[in-house]
Amino acid sequence: MRSRPAKLTLSALAWIALGAAAFFTVTVQQQIDHRRIALRAFEATARDAADALDDVQAGQQAYVAIGQDASEWVAKVATYLQTATTSVDTLRSAAQSVTAGPVLLDASTSLTQLATIDRAVNRHIASGDYHAAADAVFSEATDAISSAVSNVEAAIEAEQQAADGSETAQRRTQVYALGGVAGLVAIILTLLGFAPSAAPGADETEGVTPESGAFTALAHEAVFDRTAIAPPLFETGHARLADDSLNTLAALCTEFGRVRDAGQLKGLLERAAAVMNARGLIVWLGSTAGADLRPVLAHGYADATLARIRTVPRSADNAAATAYRTGNVQIEKSRPGVAQGTVVAPLLVADGCIGALTAEILDRGEESATTRALAQILAAQLAGVLAAAADADTGADAHVAS
């Protein structure tokens, strides 16, 4: 591919794909956040309804309690009952799950019955029949309150399950979108990385046809010139760029697809570290089920150092566990006295996140958007290679140091 317009078109396509993926990811994340906010508001309103029902029960029992003036509690119980009714009506309008609507309708029916029972209790008290009033309070009213509370709790559980299912589906869509874009960008980078440079005077071939007689000579000359000027991707066996990081990354993406054993992965990690200007890399592997993270591959660390590293729980308060838990890239900027910062990219597969890649970046490179993108692309390649290992027994010691 020697055409400059074609290269520009491919580059533009890669940037458009990345931009679209970023926009889609942000949009989906906003939808997830809104659903979480709505769920918290739903739970708060449900707690208000349950508390109001508890107050109704306490107030009605005070009607018939010795030493209590029933008239003082009538207005309070009416207020509590109105609060519970309003809260349940609010829950019915805010419910998003299929199951929550019917159980909240049952709760509303129970509150209507409770209001009817409360009026009957007041009539009994007004006529001096405290025995009948007590029977109604401790039997019919208690049953109605219990039914309403149970229905409200069932609605909360239904909303939580619906929210969890919706978030799981949206996260899976994010993974599919990011995986598709990562694959497309990897292909484009490969095409651009292996595209031959234009030979001097290559523009002279424009307008020359196979019938012109000069075509064969010009084509041979162009091929010869490209061969002569094409630099090697690496010099003296080290991961040092001869042209630019895109060429090297394209070669790495291609070689990830040919990996057969851990030894090959170690070499690829070393070269990737050079591209990212990373002092060291560690690949942490868990599983989509949430197994503890364990270091399975590393570059830049001594064996003794790796031997002291323990597994990291999914709930741990650090960048690797956070990336594993949320599926989002984490950044820890360098601090005074610390020579490097850290970029942590999640290893995402179709069913979720199976681990994380931590990279200690030198020279404040963790603040570079390019470095973060390189980490994400490397993590995507590693996820494809290690997906099967994530489903295997996580108890085996799989340290690989370099």
89-98, 147-156, 192-201, 230-239: segment of lowest average pLDDT: 230-239
Among residues 179, 207, 242, which one ends one of the domains? 179
Nearest CA among 140, 393, 370, 192 for reference residue 277:
370
pLDDT at 279 (0 to 100): 87
The answer on 171 and 285 residing in a single domain is no
266-281: average pLDDT:
86
The answer on 164 and 22 residing in a single domain is yes
Domain of 302? 275-390
CA distance 181 to 377: 10
Q: How confident is the model at residue 364 (pLDDT cuts 50, 70, 90)?
A: confident
Contacts of 327 (CB under 8 A, 6+ apart): 171, 174, 175, 346, 348, 352, 353
- Rounded to two decimals, the pTM is 0.43
The answer on 287 and 164 residing in a single domain is no
Q: Which two tokens stand for residue 27?
A: 């949009």
Contacts of 271 (CB under 8 A, 6+ apart): 234, 239, 248, 252
What's the number of CA atoms in the CB half-sphere (13 Å) around residue 134? Answer: 7
CA distance 243 to 321: 36
Q: At residue 152, does pLDDT exceed 90?
A: yes
133-156: average pLDDT:
93
Nearest CA among 60, 48, 122 for reference residue 87:
48
Helices 369-390, 245-256: inter-axial angle, 10-degree rounding: 10
With a pLDDT cut of 70, the percent of the chain lying above it is: 82
Helix (H, G, I), strand (E, B) or coil at 339: coil
**pLDDT by residue (tens digit) across 66-90?**
777 777 898 889 999 999 999 999 9
The answer on 137 and 23 residing in a single domain is yes
pLDDT at 226 (0 to 100): 34
With a pLDDT cut of 90, the percent of the chain lying above it is: 38
- Residue 265 counted as domain residue: no
Q: At residue 92, does pLDDT exceed 90?
A: yes
- Residue 270 counted as domain residue: no
Average pLDDT, the chain: 81
Residue 54's CATH number: 1.20.120
CA distance 88 to 79: 14
Residue 288's CATH number: 3.30.450.40
Q: At residue 395, does pLDDT exceed 50?
A: no
Q: At residue 212, does pLDDT exceed 90?
A: no
pLDDT at 398 (0 to 100): 42
- Residue 203 counted as domain residue: no
- Residue 251 counted as domain residue: no
The secondary structure of residue 226, as a DSSP letter, is H
- Residue 162 counted as domain residue: yes
The answer on 156 and 12 residing in a single domain is yes
Alpha-carbon distance values, 56 to 31, 42, 155, 195 (Å): 37, 21, 20, 78
Highest mean pLDDT among 242-246, 271-275, 343-347: 343-347
The answer on 288 and 155 residing in a single domain is no
**H/E element, 282:** strand 278-285
Q: At residue 195, does pLDDT exceed 80?
A: no
Nearest CA among 233, 50, 76 for reference residue 154:
50
Q: Which residue has the higher pLDDT, 198 or 142?
A: 142
Q: How confident is the model at residue 150 (pLDDT cuts 50, 70, 90)?
A: very high
Helix (H, G, I), strand (E, B) or coil at 242: coil
Q: At residue 207, does pLDDT exceed 60?
A: no
The answer on 171 and 299 residing in a single domain is no
The answer on 300 and 167 residing in a single domain is no
CA angle 202, 207, 211 (to 5 degrees): 110
**pLDDT by residue (tens digit) across 34-58?**
999 999 999 999 999 999 999 999 9
- Residue 188 counted as domain residue: no
Highest mean pLDDT among 121-130, 154-163, 391-400: 154-163
The answer on 164 and 15 residing in a single domain is yes
- Residue 212 counted as domain residue: no
Domains in the chain: how many in total?
2
- Residue 286 counted as domain residue: yes
Q: How confident is the model at residue 141 (pLDDT cuts 50, 70, 90)?
A: very high
Q: Which residue has the higher pLDDT, 33 or 228?
A: 33
Among residues 128, 163, 179, which one ends one of the domains? 179
Among residues 123, 146, 179, which one ends one of the domains? 179
**pLDDT by residue (tens digit) across 293-336?**
899 889 888 777 777 888 899 999 999 999 989 999 999 888 77
